[in-house]
Amino acid sequence: MTRGRGRVTRPPTSPGPATAGSVRRFFQYGGLLVLDVVSAVGLSGLLAAALDTIAGRGVAREVLARNLVWLTVGLPLLVLVVRWARRSQQDPTEGTSLARSLYLSAACLVSLGVVALSLHDLLAWVLGQRAPAVSSAATLLVWGSFWGVHERIVARSADTRAFRPLLVLGSIAGLVLGGLGFGVVLAGALERWFGLPSDVLLAGRHDEVRAGLATLVVGVLVWWWYWIRQLRDAERDDLWHAYVVLVAMAGSLLTLLSAGTLAAYRMAAWLLGRPGTSDADSYFATMPELVAAAVTGALVLGYHRQVLRARVPSKRSEVDRVRDYVMAGIALATAAAGACVLVAAAAEGLTGKRTPSHTAVDTALAGVVLLAAGAPLWAFHWRSARRAAKSDPQDEVASVTRRAYLFLVLGLSSLAAVAALLAGGFVVVSDILAGRVGAATLDGSRYPLGILCAAGAAAAGHWVVYQHDRTVAGSRRGPRFVLLLGVGDPAMARSLAHRWRCTVLFWTLPDQRPQPRSENDVLALVEGSGALEQVVVQADDGALRSLRVERSAPPPFGA
């Protein structure tokens, strides 16, 4: 290292040690994970064999030999690799290395899966659903210790942000297990409420109710540990919002719509259509599961919506846009499916097609249910986006989320329309060439016709919105570059850059104190002179003034 006047110059680091360190970490932590699993499997197997022997049950020699070899080989090697890893901790970059973070995350997730399965088996045994689970108890003890040790290392790590994917994946696992268990338990309760005898509910083919309770307990514990205890009140970064919006809210909405619309259709077909059977018990056999899935989806959606709304600023943010447009996209797909089915039902009515178990009325009922579920939900979320576009058109129209939504709708609608044209055209041309054009032709092309109509309507409506957005973007008022010379602060520069979608810099002289000004004053000054593309804002004798500047690239060196 050499020192000069006003600066410190360090010799460039060679890429060799970094590359060697990366290769070393790959083999070190990869081997450590494999040896962890081998040692834990061997130890839990031997402990289970010992408990079986105490209980008077026999143990297969092959199983005993395998576990003994795994433990005697894996454990000494594990000790050696751990000592090697501890010596590597003298490197200051070791504690924040990617390989170490991946190892700890993988170890926690693998052990979490084994612990969840063994705990589920033990709870199922307590609830009378299976024989005494000696091996599950041994597995829970060994792998639970394995999970606890690695979770403690994660908690004591200096870079906790590196383990944010672990918290998100753990929260997803707990949410899925808890939701599945809650749905199974609720479905069993609904079956009993619908008149199923209690001895049938808790025995025979309905034993999964108690297993659902075990799944619910395991899921709630996992979800509490990762979401409630660690992730819910943490920093709301991109992964946090991805879990809440894209996984929890979008997944629960899909569950709610799919289960709810199917349940509503079965009810409507029983009352108004031709269900195909007069046995209500067999026809509604899956109704408790559908209702339970819809209720579970509604509860998960409502909870995460409230969590997202807490501590969200009053000003519309990109998170609000992602929520609105993702939900609007799901609802639009549901409504488009309903419109497609309605067109197909109209074609069935024109051709007079019917079977003993199905008529055009049944098809129309399915379309009405889908349209009634998707259209109001789409209108609700689209109304929020439309209000934002009216109140702050420049900010909303320039949003990446809005443009992605419009492009996806237009692109997918175009692809669906092309596919429908190909499928429907094939049916029509085939019948023309065969000389049998008639009602069968309309019947064979009814769903391509429905897809074409629904996709065309969706594309046409969103094309109008897209053209309007282009007009708004073309009438943009505001500069392309702003230099705040001793006016405001860096926070104001970031806010103005977000508002104008341009480059805003904040400069001060060494002996100059920044002039405290409100953001509205700067906005009024710059936007009042809309012709300014590149402007410098400075305070002159206490008053703000703007200077028009022209930036140009510097000439080439030596020119």
Mean pLDDT, residues 197-221 taken together? 69
Kindly state whether residue 236 falls inside one of the protein's structural domains. Answer: no
Residue 444: CB partners within 8 Å, gap ≥ 6? 427, 431
- What is the model's pLDDT at position 365? 92
Q: Would residue 56 be called left, alpha or beta, if left means φ above 0 and alpha means ψ between -120 and 50 degrees?
A: left
Q: What is the rounded CA–CA span in Å between residue 255 and residue 302?
A: 13
Are 268 and 393 in a shared domain?
yes
- What is the model's pLDDT at position 9? 40
Closest residue by Cα to residue 117 from 132, 139, 146, 142? 139
How does DSSP classify residue 204? G
Are 465 and 329 in a shared domain?
yes
5-42 in b/e burial notation, b at 16+ Cβ within 10 A?
eeeeeeeeeeeeeeeebeeebeebbebbbebbbbbbbb
Confidence of residue 405 (pLDDT cuts 50, 70, 90): very high
Kindly state whether residue 251 falls inside one of the protein's structural domains. Answer: no
Are 457 and 503 in a shared domain?
no
**Pairwise pLDDT comparison (36 vs 222), residue with the higher score:** 222
Which CA distances in Å does 260 have to 22, 168, 334?
A: 51, 28, 12
- What is the model's pLDDT at position 83? 81
Q: What is the rounded CA–CA span in Å between residue 50 and residue 52?
A: 5
Confidence of residue 284 (pLDDT cuts 50, 70, 90): confident
Are 434 and 526 in a shared domain?
no
| 420, 450, 474 - which closes a domain | 474
| 458, 474, 490 - which closes a domain | 474
Q: Which of 90-104, 345-359, 439-453 has the highest mean pLDDT?
A: 439-453
Residue 324: CB partners within 8 Å, gap ≥ 6? 381, 382, 384, 385
Confidence of residue 470 (pLDDT cuts 50, 70, 90): confident
Sole residue written with tokens 């110059």:
9
Kindly state whether residue 434 falls inside one of the protein's structural domains. Answer: yes
- What is the model's pLDDT at position 559? 47
Are 456 and 510 in a shared domain?
no
List beta partners, residue 506: 484
Residues 502-544: tens digit of each pLDDT: 788 888 777 677 767 777 777 777 776 665 678 888 777 667 7
- What is the model's pLDDT at position 205? 42
Are 336 and 408 in a shared domain?
yes
Give the number of domains in the chain.
Answer: 2
- What is the model's pLDDT at position 352? 78
How does DSSP classify residue 94? T
Q: What is the rounded CA–CA span in Å between residue 375 and residue 297?
A: 19
**Diameter over CA atoms, the chain:** 95
Q: What is the DSSP string of 266-298?
A: HHHHHHHS--S-S-HHHHTTTHHHHHHHHHHHH
Under 8 Å between Cβ of 457 and 374: no
Q: What is the rounded CA–CA span in Å between residue 265 and residue 288?
A: 14
Q: Which helix (H) or strand (E) holds 263?
A: helix 250-272
Q: What is the rounded CA–CA span in Å between residue 218 and residue 142?
A: 18
Q: Enter the pTM of the model.
A: 0.78
pLDDT > 50? residue 234: yes
- What is the model's pLDDT at position 478? 65
- What is the model's pLDDT at position 359? 81
Number of H helices, E strands in the chain: 19, 6
**Pairwise pLDDT comparison (297 vs 35), residue with the higher score:** 297
Kindly state whether residue 493 falls inside one of the protein's structural domains. Answer: yes
- What is the model's pLDDT at position 62? 76
Residues 426-465: tens digit of each pLDDT: 999 998 988 888 888 888 899 999 999 999 999 999 999 9
DSSP3 helix / strand / coil % (the chain, rounded to 5): 75, 5, 20
Mean pLDDT, residues 221-243 taken together? 92
| 454, 474, 494 - which closes a domain | 474
Are 460 and 521 in a shared domain?
no
Are 404 and 352 in a shared domain?
yes
Are 524 and 466 in a shared domain?
no
Confidence of residue 389 (pLDDT cuts 50, 70, 90): confident
pLDDT > 50? residue 202: no
Kindly state whether residue 3 falls inside one of the protein's structural domains. Answer: no
Kindly state whether residue 23 falls inside one of the protein's structural domains. Answer: no
Kindly state whether residue 78 falls inside one of the protein's structural domains. Answer: no
- The mean predicted confidence, pLDDT, of the chain is 82
Radius of gyration of the chain (CA): 32
Are 492 and 403 in a shared domain?
no
Q: Look up the domain containing 496 and give its range.
A: 481-548
Mean pLDDT, residues 73-84 taken together? 82
Indicate the SS3 state at residue 360.
helix
Are 436 and 499 in a shared domain?
no
Pairing of the two strands 481-485 and 503-507? parallel
Intra-chain end-to-end CA distance of the chain, in Å: 35
Are 408 and 467 in a shared domain?
yes
- What is the model's pLDDT at position 203? 42
Kindly state whether residue 425 falls inside one of the protein's structural domains. Answer: yes
Confidence of residue 88 (pLDDT cuts 50, 70, 90): low
Residues 291-335: tens digit of each pLDDT: 999 999 999 999 999 998 876 556 777 888 899 999 999 999 999
Sole residue written with tokens 């809005």:
402
pLDDT > 90? residue 116: yes
